[in-house]
Amino acid sequence: MYSHAMKIIKSFKKHGLKVMTIGGTALIVLSLIVIIPTLYFRYSHQGTVSLAAVMPQVKNIVAPQPGIPRISGQPISVSVPSVWINNVPVVDGVYDAATGDWNVGLSQAQFIPQTALPNNIQGDTYIYGHYRPAVFAYLHHVVAGSSATVTTANGYLFTYQYVGTYAIAPSDSSVLAYTGVGPPILTLQTCSGDFFQNRQLYIFDYVSYQKL
């Protein structure tokens, strides 16, 4: 009886140690999955500013002259080459004001049709996407003066220049109101915050357009 009990104890110690080791490793991995994004987002946007601070910087670098024809088109791809965002496909997106939900694709960015089409006159072209490597995961690396481009279905390439970033709550739709007045800008949106709870907006001035 005694030897049988000792065998059970030894077996428990042997297998229990393995279980504890596996469990401990799993806990460490889980902690890293939670902690690393938390620290990353806490410190990656330390340079963000308020909307009030960003908007005065927005200007028409190439001001349209009176009578200049409006050039616009449906966006089909967006690029920010300096942060490894290259020709990300753009499709129409939907913001549900009642629920505060945004439809989001895993490898595409979304354009909100209620905002301005890319153009050379006025309004905000609003494109959002997941914080994923295939979409906008590297936007937080963008620096002042970096270029962004939007390609349209009718063969135009619109170029913009980065001026600043700020964060809003997911339920804040006031940013969508800048559609018909003021110089043309591009807004790119993705997630930020300790638990991806915020919407981080990156503002770009319009620079120029060209026919491809």
Residues 10 and 53 in one domain: no
**What's the total number of domains in the chain?**
2
| Residue that finishes a domain, picked among 44, 59, 79 | 44
Distance (Å, whole) CA 179 – CA 183: 10
Q: How confident is the model at residue 37 (pLDDT cuts 50, 70, 90)?
A: very low
Whether the full predicted model's pTM is greater than 0.85, yes or no, is no
- In 56-131, which residue ranges form alpha helices assigned H by DSSP? none
Distance (Å, whole) CA 9 – CA 21: 18
Average pLDDT over residues 27-39: 46
Residues 59 and 3 in one domain: no
Residues 138 and 176 in one domain: yes
Residues 87 and 124 in one domain: yes
Burial class (CB in 10 A: 0-12, 13-18, 19+), 96: exposed
Check residue 51 and give its pLDDT: 44
Residues 186 and 206 in one domain: yes
Residues 119 and 158 in one domain: yes
pLDDT tens-place string over residues 119-174: 998 889 999 998 899 999 999 999 999 999 999 999 999 999 999 998 877 767 77
Distance (Å, whole) CA 69 – CA 72: 10
Residues 37 and 58 in one domain: no
Burial class (CB in 10 A: 0-12, 13-18, 19+), 142: buried
Are 209 and 155 spatial neighbours (Cβ–Cβ below 8 Å)?
A: no
Check residue 40 and give its pLDDT: 45
Residues 39 and 55 in one domain: no
pLDDT tens-place string over residues 82-131: 999 999 999 998 767 676 676 788 899 999 888 899 999 888 999 999 88
Residues 145 and 186 in one domain: yes
- In the chain, which residue ranges form alpha helices assigned H by DSSP? 2-44, 51-54
Q: Which domain holds residue 145?
A: 49-211
Structure tokens given for 197: 């709870």
Are 150 and 142 spatial neighbours (Cβ–Cβ below 8 Å)?
A: no
Nearest residue to 117 (alpha-carbon basis) of 156, 68, 80, 75: 75
Residues 191 and 165 in one domain: yes
Residues 54 and 142 in one domain: yes
**pLDDT averaged over the chain?**
75
Residues 18 and 66 in one domain: no
Residues paired with residue 161 on neighbouring β-strands, in sequence order: 147, 205
**CB atoms closer than 10 angstroms to residue 127:** 24
